[in-house]
Amino acid sequence: MTGPYELATRDARTLQERTRVEAHDAAIVLGSGWTPVADALGNTASQVPFTDLDGFPPPTVVGHAGSVRSVAVGDRRVLVFAGRVHLYEGHDPSTVVHAVRTAVFAGCSVVILTNAAGSLRTDFGVGQPVVIADQINLTGRNPLAGPPPPEPHRGRFVDVSDAYSARLRAVARDVDAGILEGVYAGLLGPSYETPAEIRMLRTIGADLVGMSTVLETIAAVHLGAEVLGITLVTNLAAGLQGRPLAHDEVVEAGRANMDRVTALLAGVVGRL
């Protein structure tokens, strides 16, 4: 049986062959509603469907396209994953973080993780991009659990006290002076949180809540990549906006605010 690290290595080699790029500089994983960024970010030199790679199941969530693009952003070459895999789809953590591991093995030293999230703060309004300063993993899962990583990869006990790179966060603030920072809580989903759960999350220090990113961050840090997390606030959390939450709102809020987040991503990549 092929292990998750070997599978990611194989897919990285396939991407190198299909894109004709020996080593990409950075990877961007696009969250719900972020797919238009792939079109606006730069010139797509090549595109590989997830179905042409061994470790990527087809996405089942609206707003996730299911392909990897090699995009030229200035003089940087970026792997853009238009779609991601979630725990709530029934996948193992190693499948959820497969894109990140593949990207690092394809040469990416920087991983930019984007997502759509609910805001737990009234000053984080809908349409506001927020840089993730820290995270709370409440999924009950970890991509480093199970058999130890094979050689030559480092062991499973990884320091994540600076999981979100202070350097990259400073770059993001330099690109967009009005951007805010917050703590992201990652939950299993797919149901949205109850008002009682939102009160709990606020009590333990979360500013944002979503259903992705936290496992990918752990996997990227484990492999030595710098991580930047960017959330687009697409709704106020349960009990704060006065009406039921809907995934269609998440996707639409992403589409409506793509200009700012595209400029932010292009500016960050240009300063790497």
Quote the CA–CA distance of 57 and 117 in Å, as a whole number: 23
Instruction: Kindly list the distances between the CA atom of residue 12 and the CA atoms of 28, 122, 137, in Å, as whole numbers in the listed order.
Output: 15, 42, 27
Q: Which neighbouring-strand residues pair with 271? A: none
CA dihedral 263, 24, 28, 130 (to 10 degrees): -60
Let me know if 89 is a catalytic residue. Answer: yes
Burial of residue 181 (CB within 10 Å: 0-12, 13-18, 19+) is middle
Let me know if 235 is a catalytic residue. Answer: yes
From the candidates 94, 235, 253, 266, which is the catalytic residue? 235
In the structure encoding, which two tokens stand for residue 49, read together? 């469907």
Let me know if 177 is a catalytic residue. Answer: no
Let me know if 165 is a catalytic residue. Answer: no
Q: How far apart are the first and last CA of the chain?
A: 38
Quote the CA–CA distance of 125 and 129 in Å, as a whole number: 9
**Do 234 and 117 touch, CB atoms closer than 8 A?**
yes
Let me know if 109 is a catalytic residue. Answer: no
Let me know if 24 is a catalytic residue. Answer: no
From the candidates 12, 26, 116, 253, which is the catalytic residue? 116
From the candidates 72, 142, 181, 247, which is the catalytic residue? 247
From the candidates 5, 72, 89, 181, which is the catalytic residue? 89
Let me know if 26 is a catalytic residue. Answer: no
Let me know if 211 is a catalytic residue. Answer: yes
From the candidates 212, 216, 237, 238, which is the catalytic residue? 212
Q: Which residues contact 161 (CB under 8 A, 6 or more apart)?
A: none
Let me know if 153 is a catalytic residue. Answer: no
From the candidates 8, 26, 27, 32, which is the catalytic residue? 32
**Do 183 and 207 touch, CB atoms closer than 8 A?**
yes
From the candidates 8, 65, 70, 86, which is the catalytic residue? 86
Let me know if 193 is a catalytic residue. Answer: no
From the candidates 106, 211, 219, 237, which is the catalytic residue? 211
User: Which residues belong to the active site?
Assistant: 32, 64, 86, 88-89, 116, 211-212, 235, 247
